[in-house]
Amino acid sequence: MEMSAQQDNSNLNNVSGSGSCLYDLLSSDTPSWSSQRDRWKSSGPRGRLESLMRQSGNRFCADCGSPDPKWVSTSFGVFICIKCSGIHRSLGVHISKVLSVKLDEWTDEQVDSLVNLGGNTVVNKKYEACIPSNHKKPKQSSSSEDRSDFIRRKYELLQFLDCDEQLSCPFPLSHGINSSSSQTNSSSNNTGQDKKQCEKQGNKNRIGQAFRNSWNRKDSDYKAAKKSNSLAGMVEFVGLIKVNVVKGTNLAVRDVMTSDPYVIIALGHQSVKTRVIKNNLNPVWNESLMLSIPEHAPPLKVLVYDKDTFTTDDFMGEAEIDIQPLLTAAKAYEKSTINESMQLGKSVASKDNSLVKDGIITLEDGMVKQEISLRLQNVERGVLEIELECVPLTQ
Ligand SMILES: [Zn+2]
């Protein structure tokens, strides 16, 4: 796969959605992931991160106990396994931001903040202080529903939180689940009013406190949480897909002469988007976005919009990509040790799909990739080029 050089990473912070943290890495001009990784190994934050990972408390997933977790919720400072990371990701980045120890580039500040949060043992002591006896922690083999239920109660509803922590009220109790965007760094922003609420509850016993924590919320908030839980929680994630939105060609005009296009990529209930490129009908994004792959993966949806400041964004076309051929190839070659590049298969262009040409699936540097060229549908014109890459669960 060609990773075109792109030096301007200034839009990094504008990329929203899960996995966007990989943007920096993926849009760099280094041709292969492995050489990139090797370079980091000698750098400061990476070395510190890996020694943190080796600490005894961090050798098992903070949520389900699976060995050798390689993902981190930077919001809470815990090392977690890939299955739990999928659930964290589906809570939304405003609750739990997930980074990969291996695939993401870490800054010194991020590692510092991880060190300050204390690691799995310290964090669990706080967030699992009051697990009621009828509630069991999930295990490595637990269903995704049990896993999701626990993770949501632990981090989003904060039902098991330490009573002392509740006294100092790290979480704005009066706020609902859906107004939680203010909680990005959840543990420090409390208001006087919330504090009063906490103090009122101060002398109640621990377990009662844990339950009251959820009862204090509006009933409708809890129902909303339950509902979204059932949507997110039923899904077992089998891997990650990296979608590199390369470029658009001859896109539709939506403003007077031109458009300000951006692309939304959706898979199941997850969606991520690229940055907006102003005044350009042939935009080059070269922007990589990550999505978790659900067990029964629906087609990947691609939507292009024109960003308007004062009105609703205008539609500029859409397409669907069947990712099953790529997943099948990725499964077959997941453990392969073949080093040379080879073609594994292809998605054939036909009038039943929106492919401009056959989507060739290749094995390169041990990664299964596919290049896709899409004719945008339900619009007068426009072609979008995308590269897909599977990141298997073993990563
Ligand atoms: Zn886990």
How many residues make up the chain in this entry? 395
Q: Are residues 119 and 255 in the same domain?
A: no
For 58-75, letters b (16+ CB in 10 Å) and e give: bebbbbbebeebbbbbbb
* Dist CA 24 CA 100 (whole Å): 13
Q: What is the pLDDT of residue 265?
A: 93
Is residue 168 in some structural domain? Answer: yes
Is residue 4 in some structural domain? Answer: no
Cα distances (angstroms) measured from residue 268 to each of 176, 235, 298: 25, 10, 6
Residues 6+ apart with CB under 8 A from 179: none
Distance 359 CA to ligand 1 centre (A): 35
Is residue 9 in some structural domain? Answer: no
Q: Which helix (H) or strand (E) holds 316?
A: strand 314-321
Distance 311 CA to ligand 1 centre (A): 43
Q: Are residues 281 and 356 in the same domain?
A: yes
Q: Are residues 77 and 155 in the same domain?
A: yes
C-alpha torsion 209→212→217→220, nearest 10 = 150
Q: Are residues 242 and 155 in the same domain?
A: no
Q: Are residues 208 and 267 in the same domain?
A: no
Distance 239 CA to ligand 1 centre (A): 14
Q: Are residues 140 and 271 in the same domain?
A: no
Distance 7 CA to ligand 1 centre (A): 36
The parent domain of residue 385 ranges over: 237-392
Distance 74 CA to ligand 1 centre (A): 15
Is-contact 230 84, C-beta < 8 A? no
Q: Are residues 181 and 54 in the same domain?
A: yes
Q: Are residues 179 and 42 in the same domain?
A: yes
Distance 107 CA to ligand 1 centre (A): 24
Is-contact 262 287, C-beta < 8 A? no
Q: Are residues 87 and 173 in the same domain?
A: yes
> Which CATH number goes with the domain that contains 384?
2.60.40.150
Cα-to-chain-centroid distance, residue 290: 6
Residues with CB under 5 A from ligand 1 (ion): 61, 63-64, 66, 81, 84
Residue ending a domain, among 218, 233, 248, is 233
Helix pair 108-117, 44-53: axis angle to 10 deg:
30
* Dist CA 243 CA 246 (whole Å): 9
Distance 52 CA to ligand 1 centre (A): 17
Distance 105 CA to ligand 1 centre (A): 22
Is-contact 340 366, C-beta < 8 A? no
Distance 238 CA to ligand 1 centre (A): 13
Is residue 10 in some structural domain? Answer: no
Q: What is the pLDDT of residue 117?
A: 94
Q: What is the pLDDT of residue 345?
A: 85
Residue ending a domain, among 184, 216, 233, is 233
Q: Which helix (H) or strand (E) holds 223?
A: helix 219-233
- pTM of the shown model: 0.50
Distance 379 CA to ligand 1 centre (A): 43
Distance 60 CA to ligand 1 centre (A): 8
Tokens standing for residue 271: 């969606």
Q: Are residues 338 and 192 in the same domain?
A: no
Is residue 296 in some structural domain? Answer: yes
Q: Are residues 168 and 249 in the same domain?
A: no
Residue ending a domain, among 210, 233, 256, is 233
Cα-to-chain-centroid distance, residue 289: 9
Distance 344 CA to ligand 1 centre (A): 32
Domain count for the chain: 2
* Dist CA 345 CA 328 (whole Å): 10
Cα-to-chain-centroid distance, residue 208: 34
* DSSP sequence for 89-105: HHH-TTT--EEETTTS-
Distance 43 CA to ligand 1 centre (A): 28
Distance 297 CA to ligand 1 centre (A): 21
Distance 84 CA to ligand 1 centre (A): 4
Is residue 3 in some structural domain? Answer: no
> Which CATH number goes with the domain that contains 190?
1.10.220.150
Q: Are residues 220 and 283 in the same domain?
A: no
Question: Chunked in runs of 10, what are the mean pLDDT values of the chain (395 residues)?
Answer: 40 39 39 44 77 94 95 95 90 87 87 94 93 88 91 91 54 37 38 37 37 35 42 62 95 92 90 92 93 86 92 93 90 75 86 90 87 95 95 60
Is residue 27 in some structural domain? Answer: no
Cα-to-chain-centroid distance, residue 180: 17
